Amino acid sequence: MNERDSIEVSTEQRGDALIVTPTGDIDLHRSPAFRARLKDFASSKPKRLVVDLSRVPYMDSSGVATLVEAMQIARRQSTELVLCGLQDKVRSIFEIARLDMVFKIVPDADTASKA
């Protein structure tokens, strides 16, 4: 895996919420690495898995598919998946696809950890 295919992801535990914060674009090259990381985080079965997208300026359809898959995994194990910090470009993708009606989306990680 080269640098173009990897993605930096930080985590923080806040109460019963595991906050996952990727940094950089989530595109065709990086989404497989992000998908693998999300699966690992979800396997720990947190009560709430928060994906903070505040450091993601761009996401393509493969990134969206990664989050849809994460939501399906979370639901199967009774974990609540919450998205937060969506930048305008990323938010518009969710709105156009009407996924803002499917995902729980809140403004920031503080709100998400208490949601």
Please report, for the domain that includes residue 38, its CATH number.
Answer: 3.30.750.24
Tens-place pLDDT, residues 13-57? 999 999 999 999 999 999 999 999 999 999 899 999 999 999 999
Which domain does 16 fall in, by range? 3-114
pLDDT of residue 92: 96
H/E segment holding residue 22:
strand 17-23
Per the structure, how many domains does the chain have? 1
Tokens of 37: 């990381």
**Which amino acid is present at 54?**
S
Q: Measure the CA–CA gap between 114 and 100, rounded to whole angstroms.
A: 19
Cα–Cα nearest to 62, from 109, 30, 106: 30
Mean pLDDT estimate for the chain: 94
**Comparison of pLDDT for 103 and 43, the residue scoring more:** 103
pTM for the full predicted model:
0.94
